[in-house]
Amino acid sequence: MDNNGTMNVTFTSRVNDCVGFFTVGSWMGILVTLILIAVLIGSFLMLNSIQTMDRFDDPRQKQIVINSKE
């Protein structure tokens, strides 16, 4: 503190005074969240790319009959 009651902020020659903004736990949480989001988006895109066969879409062709006993 100065005599006037103000604080003088200056750079020092000690570079070890730096304080990180994120902790190790924060970085791991961000990294795991990004990986999970990437996996979910990739799986969603894979599910959207599934297409049915054309045989089910054409009403003029013979329909597939599945016999089942109750």
For the chain, the structural domain boundaries read 1-49
Compute the radius of gyration of the chain from its Cα atoms. 32
Compute the residue count for the chain. Answer: 70
Q: Which amino acid is at 39?
A: V
| DSSP H or E stretch at residue 38 | helix 24-48
Confidence of residue 55 (pLDDT cuts 50, 70, 90): low
Confidence of residue 23 (pLDDT cuts 50, 70, 90): confident
Secondary structure (3-state) at 63:
coil
Q: Which amino acid is at 43?
A: S
| pLDDT average, residue stretch 9-14 | 68
pLDDT of residue 20: 76
CA 58/CA 70 separation, integer angstroms: 29
